[in-house]
Amino acid sequence: MTIIIGMEGSANKIGIGILKNGEILSNPRKTYITPPGLGFIPSETAKHHQGCVLEILDEALREANVSLKEVDAIAFTKGPGMAAPLLTVALVARTLSLMWNIPLIGVNHCIGHIEMARAITGANNPTVLYVSGGNTQVIAYLEKKYRIFGETIDIAVGNCLDRFARILMLSNDPSPGYNIEKLAEKGKKLLTLPYCVKGMDVSFSGILSFLEERANNLLKKGEYTKEDLCFSLQETIFAMLVETTERAMAHCGSSEVLICGGVGCNKRLQSMMNTMCEERCGRLYATDERFCIDNGAMIAQAGYLMFKCGITTSLKDSWVTQRFRTDDVLVTWRDD
Amino acid sequence: MNDVSLITQGAEGRVFNAKFLGKNVIIKHRFKKTYRHPDLDDYLTKERIKAEVKSLVRCRMVGINVPALYDVNLHASEIVMENLDDAIQARKFIYERKADRSEVLGIGKEIGAVLAKLHSNDIVHGDLTTSNILIRPSSEKPIVYLIDFGLSYVSDKIEDKAVDLYVLERAVSSTHPDSDGFLEVLWEAYREKGGKKLNSVLLKLDEVRTRGRKKLCFG
């Protein structure tokens, strides 16, 4: 029997998940929500995490009915992410490790997303679209690495959505992306936005500047509603993502797609991707907000796979890093 | 047109074998992508057909090997092209000849020279991967063909050409992680053929690379 605790806090979510032989026993999470028009600043996000990390740990242990003595390893997010929040969580992980003499496992956040989504959906070897506030990558597994075939050449898709929500002063509760999604459902009129695809890469900064310059004016003149703008933004950027994913599938000869990361729970993105898959007799795998959005269980899941291969992280190597590429990790746990 | 049979479904559309004026041809049909908004789909499909057709002709004029263009039907979203049925994708070529390093490097050199010619004529391909480069065997050295010009455009900007190469570099290192030296000979041939003007593209490529690597990735 293997019990792994996973601790995640690389951005504005803090979550702790407990896995027993790969089965999720608990997975509580809290989100640092800022007022409309504002993003989350690293130092303040870290303060939020510091304020509730022990409470969430308690909750996770209680719900799982597990005591720290029984835990085999503590997996924590090594990166990528914001430094201050990462440090907060790593510090707690190290302290627990020393107090209870439990080995540590430093996990790449992106790998956590991929492995969680694979475990939940049962997708075997899919082309992965990883979309979140800080990341936009089209990934496929080849020879022991998750290789990046396409990615954003500037800002992440979630960052584009978040910042657009700030232009419109939408609420950040539960997340800016969710509120854009809801408004977009009522949008009808498509505004032509820049469409920027370079092979399997995408770019969002031009779209964002375009909207920054025009959105408020278009609303004032009554030419477009907030709903129309949310609709236009989603239709455009999701079409770019589906197109580049399809291009990676065609290039790699793959027929499965897996969507993960926070933006991955957007129903419109899932439905567009599903249509694309149907048109090429492929299959889509997606999960809901419990697993798409950052959580502790995903770090525990990647940690569990690493632990089974005998990988642990020594105390002196338990530092965190803001930059940690998905393709830097040697995937020793996959044999295909 | 008759005897139409599907060969493959690429990212851009479906490709069919067919007969056209007695010739064996391929038809590339950009079917309606119902996942995207009809207005956007219509716009993108038309833009890409136009881009592809223009670049095929432009390449042909300056002596870059591309399939000959026979017909365009914007209304049906179809183009009819020469069938290069004895050519294989560079991707397949590299996989199949993993053991023969000198042959793989030889191809890298040929590709580098073709890309130099492409960029010297201010054509940016926009989607350079080893799937979009074909290798046609010949009695002397293999001949390189470029296909899939849907994302191509005309530009004399160093930046655009550097990004074009960056896209290729990323595709090669992800698709062929063990192809040591392949990109090096490719850049060398590109530099050699391209002269001073294209040397600045390679310098810009260094800058584009650091942009990619330095990108924050969290969330």
pLDDT in tens, B153-172: 999 999 999 999 999 999 99
CATH class, B88-218 region: mainly alpha
Confidence of residue B215 (pLDDT cuts 50, 70, 90): low
Cα A25 from Cα A2, distance rounded (Å): 12
CB nearest to A190's CB, from B37, B131, B219: B37
Does the structure show a pLDDT above 90 at A225? yes
A79 DSSP β-pair partners: A108
What is the mean predicted confidence (pLDDT) over B99-103? 84
Secondary structure (3-state) at B136: strand
Digit-coded pLDDT (tens) for A165-206: 999 999 999 999 999 999 999 999 999 999 999 999 999 999
pLDDT in tens, B26-65: 999 999 999 999 999 999 999 999 999 999 999 999 999 9
Q: What is the pLDDT of residues A29-47, one digit of tens each?
A: 999 999 999 999 999 999 9
Is B127 assigned a catalytic role? yes
Domain spans of chain B?
Answer: 2-82, 88-218
CB A176 within 8 A of CB A132: no
Q: Are B112 and B185 in contact (CB under 8 A)?
A: yes
- Determine the residue type at A89: V
In whole angstroms, what is the distance from residue A29 CA to residue A55 CA? 10
What is the token pair recorded at B77? 């979203």
pLDDT band at residue B2 under the 50/70/90 scheme: low
Judge whether A15 is annotated as a binding position: no
Minimum-distance CB partner of A199 among B35, B151, B178 = B151
Q: Decide if A201 and B219 are in contact by the 8 Å CB cutoff.
A: no
Quick: pLDDT tens for A82-101: 999 999 999 999 999 999 99
Tokens 């679209």: give the residue. Answer: A129
HSE, side-chain direction, 13 A CA sphere, residue A6: 38
Q: Do B131 and A156 touch (CB under 8 A)?
A: no
ipTM value of the model? 0.92
**Helix (H/G/I), strand (E/B), else coil: B26:** strand
- B214: which chain A residues are within 8 Å (Cβ-Cβ)? 323
At residue A3 the predicted structure's pLDDT band, cuts being 50, 70 and 90, is: very high
**What's the mean per-residue pLDDT of chain A?**
96
Residues of B in contact with A153 (CB under 8 A): 163, 211-212
- Smallest CA–CA distance, residue B107 to chain A, in Å, is 19
Rounded Cα distance between A131 and A138, Å, is 9
Q: To which H or E segment does residue A130 belong?
A: strand A127-131
Min Cα separation B10/chain A (Å): 5
Rg of chain A taking only CA atoms, in angstroms = 20
pLDDT score at B205: 94
Q: What are the CA-CA distances from residue A118 to residues A18, A125, A136, B24, B48 (Å)? A: 17, 9, 18, 44, 35
With contact defined as beta carbons under 8 Å apart, do A145 and A331 qualify?
Answer: yes
Contact B218 A109 (CB under 8 A): yes
Q: Say which DSSP state A317 is in.
A: G
- pLDDT at residue B6 is higher than 50: yes
Please tell me whether A264 is known to bind a ligand. Answer: no
Helix (H, G, I), strand (E, B) or coil at B78: strand
In DSSP terms, B19 is beta-bridged to B24
- With beta carbons less than 8 A apart as the criterion, state whether A43 and A30 touch: no
- For B171-185, how does the pLDDT look when each residue is reduced to its tens digit (9 = 90+)? 999 999 988 899 999
CATH topology of domain B2-82: Phosphorylase Kinase; domain 1 (3.30.200)
Catalytic residue among B3, B41, B86, B127: B127
How far does the CA of residue A284 sit from the closest CA of chain B (Å)? 13
Domains of chain A: 3-113+293-328 (3.30.420.40), 125-290 (3.30.420.40)
pLDDT band at B140 (very low <50, low <70, confident <90, very high): confident
pLDDT of residue B217: 47
